[in-house]
Amino acid sequence: METQTTTARTALKFGIISGVAGIIFMTVLYVSGQAANTGLAWLGTVITIIVMVLAMKEFRTLNGGFMSYGQGLGIGTLMAGISGFLSAVYSYIYQEFIDTTLRQQILDKVREDLENRGMDDAQIEQAVEMTQKFSSPGITFAIGVIGSIFIGFIIALIISAIMKKDKPFEME
């Protein structure tokens, strides 16, 4: 008997794959001192896109060659949520127990970028203070998970529209 695939099973499998790939990518950024490089960090989104395409492709193949728009959207969004949760847990553990100086390195990079923009000291202090508030472990974790779900949803909207293939309507 052939096992029927579900959107949740597919999303879980590929969410874990995407999460592990994201963790490896983050580790490379952390170790190379590029964690504060936002341009490079956005390359991590490419990992999500590739894994999401693979997830929808596998689901469609295992589902007789068909996948509705809603199924694709569900797979992509749930996959991004699982991946974001795993990445946020890893990031929290890394920043709290492995490299406790990472948060300060990011604040220093923010300060340097603001100085290069020509902002005065009062504006820089205010921006750094705001950045410190939003870089606490709990807020960073929540923003990581919610941000991953939101960005994953947007990406899934596009990929699902491209990859959907509805079953033909059969008249009885």
- Per-residue pLDDT of 40-57, as tens digits, reads 878 889 999 999 999 999
Q: Which of 18, 13, 17, 8 minimizes the C-alpha distance to 155?
A: 18
User: Measured in Å, how far apart are the chain's first and last C-alpha atoms?
Assistant: 27
Given a cut of 60, whether residue 101 has pLDDT beyond it is: yes
pLDDT band at residue 62, thresholds of 50, 70 and 90? very high
- The mean pLDDT of 75-95, rounded to a whole number, is 96
Q: Which of 164, 4, 166, 139 minimizes the C-alpha distance to 76?
A: 164
Given a cut of 80, whether residue 149 has pLDDT beyond it is: yes
* Residue for token pair 């592990």: 20
Residue 67's contacts (CB-CB under 8 Å, 6 or more residues apart) are 56, 59, 60, 160, 163, 164, 165
Contact predicate 68/7, CB 8 Å: no
Given a cut of 60, whether residue 159 has pLDDT beyond it is: yes
pLDDT band at residue 137, thresholds of 50, 70 and 90? confident
Angle between helices 44-62 and 69-93 (to 10 degrees): 140
Return d(Cα 23, Cα 19) in angstroms, integer: 6
Comparing 37-41, 89-93, 115-119, 123-127, which segment has the lowest mean pLDDT?
37-41
pLDDT score recorded for residue 49? 97
pLDDT score recorded for residue 172? 47
